[in-house]
Amino acid sequence: MQSSQLPFLLMAIGAAVLMGTIGPLSRMVEVSPEVVTFYRVVIGALFLVLYLMLSGSLRGSLVLIRKRQLASGGALAGFMVFYIKALQLMPMAQAVMILYFAPILASVIAHFVLAERLTKASLSLVMLGFTGFVFLIDLSALTASEGSEYGAGLLFASLSCLTYCAFILLNRTSSEGSSPSLNTLIQLVVASSLLLPFAWNWGLPSTGQLPWLVAIGFFTGFLAMLLAISALAHLPATTYGTLAYLEPFTVALLAWWLFGESLSLSDALGASLIVIAGLGQSRLSLRRSE
């Protein structure tokens, strides 16, 4: 591992832990996922503008908006909304591990579109991760009386996985010509614009909801996103994906501590397979870069 990558590795770790708090925080606020996501991105954007002003980064900056950044902002809004919807309909640990099948899927797509070569060993790890994905599906919950709710949660979790995969891949190239912080700001503004109609219809938050929304916006909208996009601009998708698995562990720990949720044997097996696959992919990627 090159020492020059160390700051970006630490950024990825910090982003993963902070993003892991969105599940518990979103359950503390009794509003729709679209509204939670809107305040997450719009408050995050406001904090980021303040940060750029105080650091002097806005002076003389040329804001270049590219199609990839617009698409990435849409993917950002999509995977956040779908993920929070899934969290409301199924166990948090299952939802987050399905979301984090995305880095493994991204490694497959990166083989074709980003020239990040996928070897036979990498393909085997992808299949291992997919097996873990299958183990996470609770067939008994699907056939139970409340199966329609769990099935909807499974659908939203899968959609969050697909849109998060798109977000990872788009950010491997979308920061060209602008700093990571400005790139982050553009994507947050795009996402908040898409979600504005939902927040407009809902109205202003109450005094009890506002502190939670501000916390969500600062920690998961501003700080986590800035760290994540900065790391993604300098790390291979597989390396970032490995460190991102700290988020599922954070979510599982908080879900157990705050809500009494625990992993079943099938969940634990599926999560372990996905994590092993992600770690293996990163190991192969780092070995090729040495």
Question: 191-246 pLDDT, tens per residue?
Answer: 999 999 999 998 888 888 888 899 999 998 888 877 887 787 777 766 776 677 77
Compute CA 127 distance to the chain's CA centroid, rounded to the nearest angstrom. 22
Q: What's the one-letter identity of residue 1?
A: M
Categorize the per-residue pLDDT at 78 as very low, low, confident or very high, splitting at 50, 70 and 90.
very high
The C-alpha atoms of residue 134 and residue 127 are separated, in whole angstroms, by 11
Q: Based on the structure, what is the number of domains in the chain? A: 1
The C-alpha atoms of residue 198 and residue 250 are separated, in whole angstroms, by 29
Strands (E), the chain: none
The C-alpha atoms of residue 25 and residue 209 are separated, in whole angstroms, by 11
CA angle 123, 282, 275 (to 5 degrees): 80
- Please give the residue that has the higher pLDDT: either 68 or 241: 68
Quick one: which of 85, 79, 73 has its CA closest to 101? 79
| Structure token digits, residue 27 | 């359950």
3-class state of residue 59 by DSSP? coil
3-class state of residue 260 by DSSP? coil
Per the structure, the complete domain to which residue 235 belongs is given by: 3-289
Mean pLDDT of the chain: 81
Quick one: which of 243, 164, 245 has its CA closest to 6? 243
By mean pLDDT, which of 42-56, 145-159, 183-197, 240-254 is the weakest? Answer: 240-254
**Which residues touch 167 (CB under 8 Å, ≥6 apart)?**
72, 75, 76, 79
Question: 85-114 pLDDT, tens per residue?
Answer: 998 888 888 888 888 788 778 877 877 776
Quick one: which of 234, 207, 265, 281 has its CA closest to 2? 234
Total residue length of the chain: 290
77 pLDDT more than 50: yes
